[in-house]
Structure 1
Amino acid sequence: MSNTPGRPLRADAERSVRAILAAAERVLAGTPGASMEQIAEAAGVTRTTVHRRFANRQALIDALAAEAAVKLAEAIEDGHPETAPPLVALHRATANVLRVKAAWGFALGPAAEQSERAARTHEDIARRCVELLGRIRAEGVIAPDADLEWVRRVFYALIGEALHGEGGAGPVDADPDTLAARIVDTLLHGVGPRASG
């Protein structure tokens, strides 16, 4: 959380860091070039407090990206991808991911992609996604010769489209469960006509 990994923070310091990260997400989502001073003001702390927790702006962005990646991993874990029926897990994880991505748009976007800590978490998320898709393939819902890494990439692209809409105009639909159903249906069945009977 702070830039001294491994050393636990006191409760007040932890609250301060959380307030700074929440403010950073809000401010940077609207103004990506915002200064540390603007973030401090939005967090209700002094600029000195922000600098005490984060050596520089990049350290703050790295921490923000790592925090958002953890939230994303928790959202997926809440879908129980290893133990729930695979289609149930996929739907639930998808709806949860949509919620997190909508709340952490800056931290999960291109501007925060350089964080090594976040990158490791995203690699683990991708691995777990492919494993879940493997469980779905084993049930015969995905073709046995499907390239699961490609399926994962298409899945991610559908989530991106659902969140950003045409030209980044915002969510296609505000309800994550409705969007999740649409994404999963498109991923698994495409857009061709359904077999009758």
Structure 2
Amino acid sequence: MNVAVPSVSRITCVAILHFYATDLMHISADLQVRRMVFDASRINTGSGKAMDRPLRADAARTVHAILEAAERVLAEDPGASMEQIAEQAGVVRTTVHRRFANRQALIEALAASAKRQLMDAVEDAHLDTAPPLVALHRVTANMLRIKSVWRFTLGHPLADTPLTAVIWSEINAGALEFFARAQHEGLLAPDADLMWARRVYYALVDESLHGGGADMDPEQVRQNADAHATLIVDTFLRGVGPHG
């Protein structure tokens, strides 16, 4: 399936190329998903206490398979059973329950992993030090990649947990702080309403992922994240009217 790639404005292109020339590190969603194992080995599994040490290699592979399967299955059917998740993960149901005492514990493990990856995505954008235009483009591309992988955990009401509330609280506060910096440095208009700007920006990101009522294929999002981020940023900053 061919995806239309939007044109890149000259100022956006120059800024991005300049920054990437000095920092070529780029988030890979595939590698980020595999880090679920590290996070899950340290969250509460429903047994009443968190695990303080990483799991053995074989157990880590099992946890990885379960979490990856859970996100994939629940994204398609939020009411899916633990047995369905086990089947998708290639393990028996008792194995899932041995790692996660109940469904809520599994969802909390997903939230813990998603939080770690979101925070990594934000840190990778250097929102407090990079030129604001570059940082905005980079964090947008990173968020598109991460949110495309975590469609259930970061996008469905059934995945709401105290931890996901913390996630969005931190993201919301960080967005306002960054927009304030961008405003101070002239990227946003001095009289711009930052709360409204945040709502508009979030809407553009969500529409890019879910436009037309259907989720985009995660692989397609990963391949075209930079192009879509350029379109989002240009629309956010310049709108869709004629430019003088």
Deviations 1:57-110 (A, max 9, x none): 122122212312321221121111111111101101100110111111111112
- What is the root-mean-square deviation of aligned Cα atoms in Å? 1.9
Q: 2:205 aligns with which of 138, 156, 159?
A: 159
Equivalent residue, structure 2, for 1:7 = 52
Give 1:35-54 correspondences, 5 Å limit: 35-54=81-100
Is there any run of 5+ residues in structure 2 with no aligned partner, and where? Answer: 1-39
Match of 2:131 in 1: 85
Query: Conserved in 1, the CA contact under 8 Å of 2:176 and 2:198?
Result: yes
Scaled by the length of structure 2, what TM-score is found?
Answer: 0.73
- How far is the alpha carbon of 1:50 from its aligned partner? 1.1
1:131 to 160, 165, 177: 177
**1:104-183 equivalent positions in 2, closer than 5 A:** 104-168=150-214, 170=216, 174=221, 175-183=224-232
Alpha-carbon distance change, 181 to 20 in structure 1, aligned in 2, over 3 angstroms: same
Structure 1 equivalent of residue 17 of structure 2: none
Distance 1:8 1:149, change over 3 A: farther
Aligned-partner SS, 2:86? helix
In 2, the alpha carbon distance for the partners of 1:129 and 1:119 equals 15
Relative to 1, partners in 2 of residues 1:45 and 1:99: Cα closer, same or farther, differing over 3 Å?
Answer: same
Count of aligned pairs between the two proteins: 194
Question: Does 26-35 or 89-98 show the bigger shift?
Answer: 26-35
Contact kept? 2:152, 2:159, Cα under 8 Å: no
Match of 1:70 among 116, 125, 134: 116
Kept in 1: contact 2:132–2:187 (CA 8 A): no
CA drift of 1:149 comes to 2.1
Letter in 2 for 1:181: T
2:144 corresponds to 1:98: yes
Tell me if the contact between 1:70 and 1:121 (Cα under 8 Å) persists in the aligned partners: no
CA distance in 2, matches of 1:31, 1:40: 14
Q: What's the CA shift for 1:169?
A: 5.5
Q: Distance in 1 between matches of 2:100 and 2:242?
A: 54
Residues 63 and 99, structure 2, Cα contact 8 Å, conserved in 1? yes
**Cα distance in 2, alignment partners of residues 8 and 116 from structure 1:** 24
- Structure 1 window deviating more from structure 2 (56-65 vs 178-187): it is 56-65
CA contact (8 A) 1:27 1:42 kept: yes
1:177-196 counterparts in 2 under 5 A? 177-195=226-244
Deviations 1:32-76 (A, max 9, x none): 221101111211222112112212112212221231232122112
- Give me the TM-score of the superposition, normalised by structure 1: 0.89
Matched residue, 2:4: none
1:69·1:108 contact (CA, 8 Å) conserved in 2? no
